[in-house]
Structure 1
Amino acid sequence: MEMSLIALAAITLVYILFLFKFLIKKNHGSRNLPDGSLGLPLIGETISYLRANKKDQAIQWIDERVAKYGPVFKTSLLGTPVVFIVGLAGNKFLLGSGEDVFATERPKRIADLQGENNIFELSGSRYRLIKRAMLSFLKPESLQNYVKRMDDLVTDSLSKEIKGTDTEIKTVSFMKKLTFNVACDILFGIHDEATKEAFLDDFHILFDALGSFPIKFPGSAYSKGFEARARINDRFLPILTKKREGLSSGNSSPTDDVVSCLLALKDENEEPISEQVVVDNFTLLIIASHDTTATLLSLMVWKLAQDKKIHAEVLKEQMDILREKEAAKEGEGKLTWADIQKMKYTWQVAQELMRMIPPIFGTFRKAVKDLNFGGYDIPKGWQVYSVSYATHMEKDIFSNPTEFDPSRFDKSSKPIPPYAYIPFGAGLHSCIGNEFARIEALTTIHKLVTKFEWSQVYPDEKFTRKAMPYPTMGLPIKIQPRISP
């Protein structure tokens, strides 16, 4: 009986594989599709790609296919056919084209977790409406008002976490908590500690689901992600209701926080946007504003522990700023917008880290019509993916690309071509929170290097990539207050 079932399963699998290949050939047989393999039906090459990601070997996974098929190749991931385009021309094509060529839609299994109404999935007038609202909080003119508050939040987080000498903390967990707290406080006006902790636990589950195998079955990371997303929605709706009541009564203003701003929006028909649009963009902004910055900050702590020369240069720049402030006796020692602008070398270190270990591995777009690139046909509805790391490590763009050299981001250095350096994307849909991330990262590093010293518990700790790159053990460090000279 068991042998019969196994034989039946094998025959069924072979039949599905044959049918899958037949349909692909029937639908696209006359087209010049890129070389490559679509893998197994439904699964595609998802398993091998996720396995490579977990081992931080996604670059090798791509390089193997580039060597075999060329810089434009096809595969299938997350149940969707995907064309990878590797190189500067591909970046320009993908990121520089208009909405009549590409939609920002990502594979459905990703969009389902984050919500189909978030800004990454929108286009046209609805995209511009939501983007304009968010930019009112994230543009430099607005961010200048947040620096001192950010200083307070970072200082408070550090004082709660670091007690006396030789405190051991897990950097990744700490940075995730810190950046989540900053986002909740400044962007969303959420201050209750119990609410934030509950949100944070579920966002961690949701984020893990984004890097998991996208099949729903009881107990899977992907299914847990949907359960976490449902709890986030349920927990957020009372907050949304309270903010709407505040707007109606005049006790709050659309300028108070991003949620209030979105609730006050009217579309082209003078209708308010739906609650689900607000919820989906809250979810997306939390993920974008705290996970990417937490990754960058973890990488900076790691680099400063590893490289004494880089650490010394960063420390000198930050101590000079601190001494200037103490001499001027300004603002009770709190950072200002002017101080942030002086942190040029520290930000160059951050830029170089994002070049060599980009937090966002690449960018998905969806073809809205039949396209042609590099002599190959790309059918309407297929996903197209550009790889950040490819141009970041291109020797014709960055000399000695494997060398860590922050000076390459100095204004006097060789200009970097458009679409070559893309940690925050590029073009119409580039990241709108990059300046917020810069201020948060520089504020945190300033407080860390001027007040504390640290060393890695495991100097040879490896990296993994669960959507974003992280040290496998969470980067535990021993940290203690800096002894004044």
Structure 2
Amino acid sequence: MTATTANESALTGTRQPIEKRRPPLVRSLPLIGPLRQFLGDVHPFLSETRATYGDAFRLRMLNVEMTCLFGEEAIDLLEAGSCLRTSKSMHVLDGELDSCLPSTFDGPQHQMFRKAHLQFMNANLESKRRVDIQSRLAEHTAGWRAGDQVDVLHEAQVQTVDVLSVLLNGEPFPFSKKELALIVHTLIWATFGHAPEWILRNPVYRSVQKRMRSHFLGLVARIRSSPERAATTLVGRYLDLEPPIGRERWEDRDLIAVPYSAYLAGFDTVASAASFLLYQLLTHPRDLAQVRQEFEELSRESSGPVAPVKQKYLRAAFLEAVRLNPPGTAVLRFADRDFEFAGYSIRKGDEVLVVIAGDHLNEAVFSRPNEFDPTRFFGPQSTPLKRRVLPFGSGSHRCTGAVLGELVA
């Protein structure tokens, strides 16, 4: 406010609006900002920055400003009906897939579609297909011998895709891991990473995308024409629902977003979680021995494959692995109205990163936060701790395949 404006206000008795405080802007390199940290494991960087700036701060990176929010109140903002939305970022997927389904993720039909996912992708699906899943995984590892060197992340990605394809689509996936990685990473960077959309014109990407789209259109047609397959696939589950608003019927081009979204969500997250779990167990032989002992005891009591949900120590080790090495550190949202957070003003249109792993290294929540200790998730005080580990998101947009993802990992 200028001096003149201030004097005029004093004379007239009118009050000038006082601009509310914005979250502090983190000092970083000009133009590129903390790009290097975001290209690697961003979790330690965000935790250290929180220790300096508090539960709300702003970052500028490649001329894009993001507001980072931490803590339980930030997690609460992920619930339905809050002031944050996802759909603004979905226009890239809408156009690239030629499907209206991604844009419904915030619309009035979101709860119905989400319920359909949850009813299909749950622990019962794993229990019904457990023998099939384990036999397929055994095929991948049948040739392994003691002393062999294995690219763990590569194998985890290949096996994750195979299991997802059989469980959700009822048939193997005909593309290589390299081809799927190209599609997944290009779409994720173009949708959420502010990469220029010209990366979608990459001729190699366009060629693979054309073939993959053709495959998914054929998949939808095969499921639509077979009541038996419709009853056992995720696409078939959608055919039982009301079509998207504005559509008189489900179009094949809309339904291809169903298998696409499963691979987009599960390709890296589930495989990364499995890889980090294996890494932590191999570097902590005492915990690995405990996992093996538990499995052997359960195997003697079981007439078939051991149910993952019965492996309590393995479950605790998984939680501890993804606490230390979260496959997803933050989720992207957009403010659809002005609101206050931690005493700061968040404006309508602000790009917001809710750091779902924000408390994973918080000493006030987890004692000895940098140590791998699965036993912290046993005992009467463990339930609140389990609720603070969110490897697959939280709230109304928590990954609908989270239960299945944990079981596969």
Match of 1:291 in 2: 268
- State whether residues 85 and 336 of structure 2, in contact with CA within 8 Å, keep that contact through their aligned partners in structure 1: yes
**Which stretch shifts more, 109-118 or 428-437?**
109-118
Match runs of 1:214-233 below 5 Å? 214-217=195-198, 228-233=208-213
Q: Could you tell me how far apart the structure 2 residues matched to 1:362 and 1:144 are?
A: 31
Q: Could you tell me how far apart the structure 1 residues matched to 2:206 and 2:353 are?
A: 25
- CA 1:48/1:323 → structure 2, altered by over 3 Å: closer, same or farther? farther
- CA 1:391/1:225 → structure 2, altered by over 3 Å: closer, same or farther? farther
Compute the displacement of 1:184 (Å). Answer: 0.5
Q: Could you tell me how far apart the structure 1 residues matched to 2:157 and 2:95 are?
A: 20
C-alpha distance after superposition, 1:311-342 (max 9, x if no partner): 111111112222334xxxx3xxx415xx3332
Match runs of 1:4-403 below 5 Å? 30-36=19-25, 47-56=32-41, 58-63=42-47, 65-66=49-50, 69-76=53-60, 80-92=64-76, 94-96=77-79, 98-105=80-87, 107=89, 111=93, 117=100, 122-159=105-142, 161-162=143-144, 164-191=145-172, 196-198=173-175, 200-209=177-186, 210=188, 214-217=195-198, 228-247=208-227, 252-267=228-243, 271-325=248-302, 330=303, 334-335=304-305, 339-403=307-371
C-alpha distance after superposition, 1:146-165 (max 9, x if no partner): 22221221122211x42x44
- CA 1:277/1:90 → structure 2, altered by over 3 Å: closer, same or farther? same
Q: Could you tell me how far apart the structure 1 residues matched to 2:386 and 2:311 are?
A: 24
- CA 1:29/1:438 → structure 2, altered by over 3 Å: closer, same or farther? same
Partner SS, residue 232 of structure 2: coil
- State whether residues 55 and 342 of structure 2, in contact with CA within 8 Å, keep that contact through their aligned partners in structure 1: no
C-alpha distance after superposition, 1:21-74 (max 9, x if no partner): xxxxxxx9945322216999xxx96x4444213343x24543564456432112
Compute the displacement of 1:343 (Å). Answer: 0.4
Structure 2 unaligned runs (5+)? 1-16
Q: Could you tell me how far apart the structure 2 residues matched to 1:182 and 1:415 are?
A: 30
Q: Could you tell me how far apart the structure 2 residues matched to 1:341 and 1:418 are?
A: 15
Compute the displacement of 1:125 (Å). Answer: 3.0
C-alpha distance after superposition, 1:441-482 (max 9, x if no partner): 2xxxxxxxxxxxxxxxxxxxxxxxxxxxxxxxxxxxxxxxxx
Give the aligned residue type for 2:274. L
Give the aligned residue type for 1:437. G
Match of 2:391 in 1: 423
Structure 1 unaligned runs (5+)? 1-27, 442-485
Q: Could you tell me how far apart the structure 2 residues matched to 1:171 and 1:179 are?
A: 12
- State whether residues 80 and 382 of structure 1, in contact with CA within 8 Å, keep that contact through their aligned partners in structure 2: no
C-alpha distance after superposition, 1:97-118 (max 9, x if no partner): x335222336468756985755
Compute the displacement of 1:121 (Å). Answer: 6.0
Match of 1:471 in 2: none
Q: Could you tell me how far apart the structure 2 residues matched to 1:227 and 1:439 are?
A: 34
Higher strand fraction: Structure 1 or Structure 2? 1
- State whether residues 84 and 386 of structure 1, in contact with CA within 8 Å, keep that contact through their aligned partners in structure 2: yes
Compute the displacement of 1:374 (Å). Answer: 1.8
Q: Could you tell me how far apart the structure 1 residues matched to 2:278 and 2:330 are?
A: 24
Fraction of identical pairs, as percent: 21
Partner SS, residue 345 of structure 2: strand
RMSD: 3.3
Partner SS, residue 250 of structure 2: coil
C-alpha distance after superposition, 1:415-457 (max 9, x if no partner): 416863222222222222122123222xxxxxxxxxxxxxxxx
Compute the displacement of 1:168 (Å). Answer: 2.5
Partner SS, residue 168 of structure 1: coil
Partner SS, residue 95 of structure 1: coil
- CA 1:356/1:119 → structure 2, altered by over 3 Å: closer, same or farther? farther
- State whether residues 37 and 74 of structure 1, in contact with CA within 8 Å, keep that contact through their aligned partners in structure 2: yes
C-alpha distance after superposition, 1:3-22 (max 9, x if no partner): xxxxxxxxxxxxxxxxxxxx
Q: Could you tell me how far apart the structure 1 residues matched to 2:259 and 2:156 are?
A: 20
**Which stretch shifts more, 227-236 or 105-114?**
105-114
Partner SS, residue 357 of structure 2: helix
- State whether residues 324 and 361 of structure 2, in contact with CA within 8 Å, keep that contact through their aligned partners in structure 1: yes
- CA 1:77/1:187 → structure 2, altered by over 3 Å: closer, same or farther? farther
TM-score (norm 1): 0.70
- State whether residues 356 and 392 of structure 1, in contact with CA within 8 Å, keep that contact through their aligned partners in structure 2: yes
- CA 1:414/1:65 → structure 2, altered by over 3 Å: closer, same or farther? closer
C-alpha distance after superposition, 1:152-194 (max 9, x if no partner): 21122211x42x4433321111111111000001111123xxx
- State whether residues 70 and 355 of structure 2, in contact with CA within 8 Å, keep that contact through their aligned partners in structure 1: yes
- CA 1:128/1:216 → structure 2, altered by over 3 Å: closer, same or farther? closer
Match of 1:13 in 2: none
TM-score (norm 2): 0.82
- State whether residues 121 and 401 of structure 2, in contact with CA within 8 Å, keep that contact through their aligned partners in structure 1: yes
Q: Could you tell me how far apart the structure 1 residues matched to 2:84 and 2:351 are?
A: 9
**Which stretch shifts more, 175-184 or 198-207?**
198-207
Partner SS, residue 351 of structure 1: helix
Q: Could you tell me how far apart the structure 2 residues matched to 1:308 and 1:438 are?
A: 22
Compute the displacement of 1:242 (Å). Answer: 2.2
- State whether residues 366 and 384 of structure 1, in contact with CA within 8 Å, keep that contact through their aligned partners in structure 2: yes
Match runs of 1:386-465 below 5 Å? 386-416=354-384, 420-441=388-409
